[in-house]
Amino acid sequence: MSPLLQVGLEFDYEYTVPKQALVPEMYDVPSARDMPPVLSTGYMVGIMEFACLEATKPYLDWPREQSLGTLVQFSHLAATPAGMKIKVQGKLVEMQGKRLRFEVKAWDEQDQITEGIHERVVIDAERFQTKIAAKLNSTSPKEQR
């Protein structure tokens, strides 16, 4: 991680909402088909995560170093249809070791659609993949609780 990555980093990110991000399209649940065709909250959170990832990527030794989301806390304030552009504004507000904390807000072409907090942790991709492979190859599944 570059020492140039510092608290106070501000960034903008733009994204156009695709049809597959809408509630009826995104979830494989029959009742979702009856829901309004608007940006799903889950997909919106993913956009906020990706904006933070893109903002920090130039400061990482990519692809050896990557970052993963560990916390999301967003309000979904307004509905957004497909085709609308979203503008995300974010700021890195805290760093503790490899943990990065962001304040993020976003607007569609008419309304503020979200604001909240997102945290990411910087990882060594190879080490992480080794852990995942070991988890997949585990022969003794943990008991269901």
Residue of 14, 16, 25, 49 marked catalytic: 49
Catalytic-residue membership of 16: no
Cα separation, 111 vs 86, in Å, equals 10
Alpha-carbon torsion, ordered 41, 29, 120, 141, to 10 deg: 160
Catalytic-residue membership of 49: yes
Cα separation, 123 vs 49, in Å, equals 15
Within 10 angstroms of residue 40's Cβ, the number of other Cβ atoms is: 21
Residue of 14, 54, 70, 76 marked catalytic: 76
Rg (CA), the chain: 18
Catalytic-residue membership of 41: yes
Residue of 14, 16, 25, 41 marked catalytic: 41
Q: Which residues are designated catalytic? A: 41, 49, 76
